[in-house]
Amino acid sequence: MRSSSSSSTTPAKASPQALADLAVQAQTCTVCAAHLPHAPRPVLRVSPTARLLIVGQAPGRRVHETGIPWNDPSGDQLRLWLGMTREQFYDVSRIAIVPTGLCYPGTVKSSDLPPRPECAPLWHPPLRAAMPDIRLTLLIGAYAQAYYLGKRRGRTLADTVAAWRDVAPEYVPLPHPSPRNRLWFKRHPWFEAEVVPMLRERVGAALAAGDNGGARNPS
């Protein structure tokens, strides 16, 4: 059963109620249920006042079980990059979290499957349109970058991240903060040295009053 139609997924205007209605529609979506390993459990956090949008890949198993996005070691690493506590990170009045695929897509040989291809075209345009205060969008991992940047992506993920100026000021492309990517971080030391400080600065500017909500530098 589809929980949405093309008319119901397009907000008439960017109002808090339009976003609330959309969020309910997204949270009850079953469009690709036949392709998922479990009953759909869309995981997203949106608010009409959010200024930062975080777009990741798709929920992993732990996030699927808890319903809390980035509630895993990848989320811990992301918060370290951002210099945020969990409380700051989960302040939905300031930070929206919408993955490329809203539901856990399952795993193959212990690797997460890609986000379902139906999901981002269905939910991102209307949700994004209903959050007019978003100043900065973090594109975390290749799937988010493919959807939002298309041909503006580099040849590799490292190329895309290194060329962050090409997609500023709207986006910051980032690698996935998964502990599995340790080797990537080791091979690309410029990321932690140059991109992470830029990320904190730009997130701080996107959030209120020139800081990132009182976020502290954990280092």
Which of 123, 164 has the CB closer to ligand SF4?
Answer: 123
Q: Which of 89, 52, 95 is nearest to 74 (CA)?
A: 89
Which of 19, 215 has the CB closer to ligand SF4?
Answer: 19
User: Strand 136-140 vs strand 52-55: parallel, antiparallel, or unpaired?
Assistant: parallel
Q: How far is the CB of 114 from ligand SF4 (least distance, A)?
A: 11
**Cα 193 to chain center, whole Å?**
23
The whole-angstrom separation of Cα 48 and Cα 127 is: 10
Residue of 54, 78, 119, 139 that binds ligand SF4 (CB under 6 A): 119
Q: How far is CA 79 from CA 3, 33, 82, 98, 149, in A?
A: 33, 31, 5, 16, 24
* Binding of residue 116 to ligand SF4 (CB under 6 A): yes
Which of 37, 169 has the CB closer to ligand SF4?
Answer: 37
Is 165 in contact with 136 (CB distance < 8 Å)?
no
* Binding of residue 205 to ligand SF4 (CB under 6 A): no
The whole-angstrom separation of Cα 66 and Cα 106 is: 15
The whole-angstrom separation of Cα 41 and Cα 68 is: 11
Q: How far is the CB of 58 from ligand SF4 (least distance, A)?
A: 7
The answer to whether the peptide bond before residue 42 is cis (omega within 30 degrees of 0) is no
* Binding of residue 55 to ligand SF4 (CB under 6 A): no
Residue of 9, 22, 25, 42 that binds ligand SF4 (CB under 6 A): 42
Which of 29, 206 has the CB closer to ligand SF4?
Answer: 29
Is 184 in contact with 154 (CB distance < 8 Å)?
no
Region of 49-57, 69-77, 95-103, 143-151 interacting with ligand SF4 (CB under 6 A): 95-103
- One character per residue 3-32, x = contact with ligand SF4 (rule: CB under 6 A): -----------------------x--xxxx
Residue of 60, 83, 101, 175 that binds ligand SF4 (CB under 6 A): 101
Residue of 14, 18, 20, 33 that binds ligand SF4 (CB under 6 A): 33
The whole-angstrom separation of Cα 19 and Cα 93 is: 13
By CB under 6 A, name the binding residues for ligand SF4: 26, 29-33, 40, 42, 101-103, 116, 118-119, 122
